[in-house]
Amino acid sequence: MNPVLSVKNLKKVYGKKNPFVAVNGISFDMKEGEILGLLGPNGSGKTTTIQMLLGTLGVTSGEIEYFGKNFFRHRSEIMQDVSFASTYTSLPYILTVSENLHCFGKFYSVADIESKTTPLLKRFGIYDKKDKPVSSLSAGQVTRLMLVKAFFTEPKVVLLDEPTASLDPDVSLDVCKFLLEQREKTGLSILFTSHKMEEVAELCDRAIFLKNGSVIADDLPDNLAKSVSSYQLRLTITDGMKPTIASAEKRGVQYTLEHRVIELSLDEKDIPPFLNGLMQDGVSYASIQIKEPSLEAYFLKIAEKNR
């Protein structure tokens, strides 16, 4: 299957005398119906990449193709099927919600704008704001309006730059549910940036990590998590804390203590023998929790190395 978006050796350099490389020759593809995470610490090049993919920022070098067509030669045609939303951009504040959406509807040649926008305004709980100026909306309401703007044109590709950053957890969860519904319903492809790693792990089919403008990883979220993180075994010890600590130290297992609770970092295969060893030592515990490796641990590790 041909990718809906193909990026090859994309580069952005600022300045000539003391050049700063913001994006350093990155390459990736996005398949039809894929939700692809574009992740990395602040300053890693995510937003710069999206701006180049939209054509709002010039490219130093490299190639971009949508639907097999050269973006630089067919931008106007391609952008009829591509939309964008971000927490960090807004709409003209003096215009009402409806006026803004009608303007964008005209840009995309949408025939019946109201019939397309009304269900989405209701879906995101801002239908009662449709005749209000954007300046009267809260940050969260503006973010939801940006999502309405991105989806009512029925795009084939959506670029989302931290679309849930200013939203409450329950609204963020509903947005993620909406994105999955839209993918299932229309088969659209989504490029998604976020600092909420639990959200990324739940939503994205694949994740690309950027560091200092370069791609350092491209894999399934679960595989990335397991590459840097162990399982966390949490035990509430009722009898036998000393032999538990001794067993951990003998095996070279990292652990932390808090009153009668010990948390240990173990590979999955090492958990059963460790627990069997505790049983043989007569250790008793009141509760046990096993936490799988997380994408958040991977992100923190990357961010730490970036300092």
Contact criterion met (CB below 8 Å) for 37 and 193: yes
Report the CATH number of the 228-306 domain: 3.30.70.980
Lowest mean pLDDT among 89-93, 251-255, 256-260, 302-306: 302-306
Q: What is the predicted pLDDT for the residue at 304?
A: 66
- For 169-210, give the secondary structure using H, E and C: HHHHHHHHHHHHHHHHHHCCEEEEECCCHHHHHHHCCEEEEE
Residues in the chain: 307
Contact criterion met (CB below 8 Å) for 39 and 220: no
Considering only residues 16 and 35, tell me which one the structure prediction assigns the higher pLDDT.
35
Percentages (nearest 5) of helix, strand, coil residues in the chain: 40, 30, 30
List the chain domain ranges: 5-219, 228-306
For residue 126, name the pLDDT band (cuts at 50, 70, 90): very high
Q: What is the mean pLDDT of the chain?
A: 92
Q: What is the predicted pLDDT for the residue at 305?
A: 59
Contact criterion met (CB below 8 Å) for 32 and 4: yes
Q: How far is CA 37 from the centre of its chain?
A: 5
Contact criterion met (CB below 8 Å) for 7 and 218: no
CATH topology of domain 5-219: Rossmann fold (3.40.50)
For residue 90, name the pLDDT band (cuts at 50, 70, 90): confident
H or E stretch at 13:
strand 5-14
- 289 pLDDT exceeds 90? yes
Tens digit of each residue's pLDDT (9 = 90 or more) over 161-209: 999 887 888 889 999 999 999 999 999 999 999 888 888 888 999 999 9
d(CA 35, CA 187): 10
> In terms of Cα–Cα distance, which of 260, 300, 276, 265 is closest to 39?
300
- 303 pLDDT exceeds 80? no
- 307 pLDDT exceeds 60? no
- 117 pLDDT exceeds 70? yes
- 240 pLDDT exceeds 60? yes
The whole-number average pLDDT for the span 123-138 is 96
The whole-number average pLDDT for the span 1-20 is 93
Q: Give CA torsion, residues 293, 294, 297, 303, to 10 deg.
A: 140
